[in-house]
Structure 1
Amino acid sequence: MFGLGAPELILILIIGLVIFGPGRLPDIGKAFGKSIREFKSAEKGADDKNTIEAETKEKSKDEA
């Protein structure tokens, strides 16, 4: 994805443990996952909205 291998991910996890502690990491992971899900759903919703608007404009042109 970003050229991150196992050693880099392990280093990031260790830094996260040192900074936030083991009790906070699950909360941070949960918040990060929720943010990604919301972003994907918003992106999908925008695509659906654009499709609906395009179809509506197309129907309007056909009727005229």
Structure 2
Amino acid sequence: MFNVGPGEIAIVGILALVLFGPKKLPELGKALGQGLGNFKKSLTDAQSELKTALEAEEKQPAQEESAKPQA
């Protein structure tokens, strides 16, 4: 997808090590992981809410049609 090879990953890792230092790097990784986890959970929750709302909306017109008196 991003077409990133092992050389580019190594360069980014070395750059991060130089910029943040060996003591801050694990903390940054942990914070990034927690942030991505929270984002993924929020996305899953939003998808399930949307699916529930769409299913409820699909059932509602079917119930209204069956409640109409037929002449």
The answer, yes or no, to whether TM exceeds 0.5 is yes
Report deviation, 1:44. Answer: 1.1
Corresponding pairs, count? 64
Runs (4+) off by over 4 Å: none
- Structure 1: any 5+ residue segments left out of the alignment? none
Q: Percent identity?
A: 34
2: CA distance, partners of 1:4 / 1:46:
31
- Structure 2: any 5+ residue segments left out of the alignment? 65-71
> What TM-score, normalized by structure 1, do the two folds share?
0.89
**Map of 1:11-30 to 2, 5 A cutoff?**
11-30=11-30
Cα RMSD (Å) of the superposition? 1.0
Which residue identity lines up with residue 13 of structure 1 in the other structure? G
